């Protein structure tokens, strides 16, 4: 049995997971990720949590903007929520994506939620304790990642 790690984010993550369960119970598996995204936004509105869908994160090297990352939903400016609609269990690739977003936006907890299976699949994810260990895995190594507000360009 997996031991549940208590965090200061538990109340928020429980509300997000509850919203995901509501969406999965309503829609079931088999739809496109974008549909679950919209349904999650509607469900999160009922919780009165503040959230930003498709949060833009700019990725730079020393000289220029390399590209953009988009966090599916950033809740209370604390929790990175990555949504999937995969018919298979989530893999280390999806976990690495969430870790990248955590490091990019300097967040301490993420939720990876997969609506694509018969039962809702979700994982709480924490950034690695050592950034060097993170870099050794080749995730965003050698670039500077800055979060920006889309409204401010």
The answer to whether residue 144 is domain-embedded is yes
Tokens linked to 146: 């800055």
The answer to whether residue 31 is domain-embedded is yes
Structural domains of the chain, count? 1
How far out from the chain centre does Cα 74 lie? 7
Domain span at 76:
10-152
Q: Which pLDDT score is estimated for 131? A: 53
**Tokens 């895995």 belong to residue:** 137
The answer to whether residue 78 is domain-embedded is yes
The answer to whether residue 59 is domain-embedded is yes
Residue 91 belongs to domain with CATH number:
3.40.1350
Q: Which pLDDT score is estimated for 42? A: 97
pLDDT in tens, 44-100: 999 999 999 999 998 888 888 888 999 999 999 999 999 999 999 999 999 999 999
Q: Which element (helix H / strand E) includes 44?
A: helix 33-47
Question: How many CA atoms lie less than 13 Å away from 1 in the CB half-sphere?
Answer: 3
The answer to whether residue 35 is domain-embedded is yes
- Residue pair 23/39 in contact by the 8 Å Cβ criterion: yes
Rounded Cα gap, residues 136 and 61, in angstroms: 18
Q: Which pLDDT score is estimated for 3? A: 59
pLDDT band per the 50, 70, 90 thresholds, residue 145: very low
The answer to whether residue 5 is domain-embedded is no
């Amino acid at each position: 049995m997996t031991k549940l790690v208590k965090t200061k984010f538990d109340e928020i993550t429980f509300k997000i997971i509850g919203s995901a369960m509501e969406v999965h119970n309503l829609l079931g598996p088999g739809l496109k990720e974008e549909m679950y995204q919209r349904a999650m936004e509607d469900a999160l509105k009922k919780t009165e949590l503040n959230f930003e869908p498709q949060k833009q994160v700019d990725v730079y090297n020393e000289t220029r903007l390399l590209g953009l990352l988009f966090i599916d939903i950033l809740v209370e400016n604390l929790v990175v929520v990555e949504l999937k609609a995969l018919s298979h269990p989530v893999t280390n690739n999806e976990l690495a994506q969430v870790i990248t977003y955590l490091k990019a936006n300097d967040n301490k907890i993420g939720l990876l939620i997969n609506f694509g299976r018969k039962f809702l699949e979700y994982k709480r994810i924490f950034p690695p304790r050592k950034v060097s260990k993170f870099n050794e895995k080749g995730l965003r190594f050698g670039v500077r990642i800055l979060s920006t507000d889309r409204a401010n360009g």
